[in-house]
């Protein structure tokens, strides 16, 4: 899980990440009520180390662009 700072919206962040071929999910997807903080669920169990490194770089670029 990664918390978003700077007022970034989790749904917008997930969409921006997907445009860079990184799949993350807004935490709000997993609750019945609004979440107190915006965040993303990051999954990496089935991904090898080079792909994780690429994903982290691309996610950072996507978040900076928001």
- pLDDT of residue 42 exceeding 90, the answer is yes
Tell me if 40 sits within 8 A of 25, measured CB to CB.
yes
For residue 18, count other CB atoms closer than 10 A to its CB: 12
pLDDT tens profile 10-31: 999 999 999 999 999 999 998 8
Mean pLDDT of the chain: 93
The pLDDT of residue 41: 94
Q: Do residues 59 and 17 touch, judged by C-beta distance below 8 A? A: yes
Q: Which residues neighbour 12 within 8 Å (Cβ) at sequence distance 6 or greater?
A: 66
What's the whole-model pTM score? 0.87
CA distances from 26 to 48, 51, 57 (A): 23, 21, 19
């Amino acid at each position: 899980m990664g918390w978003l700072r700077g007022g970034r919206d989790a749904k917008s962040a997930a969409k921006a990440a997907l445009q860079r071929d990184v799949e993350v999910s807004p935490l709000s997807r997993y609750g019945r009520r609004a979440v107190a903080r915006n965040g993303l669920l990051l999954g990496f169990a089935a991904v090898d180390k080079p792909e994780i490194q690429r994903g982290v770089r691309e996610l950072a670029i996507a978040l900076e662009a928001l």
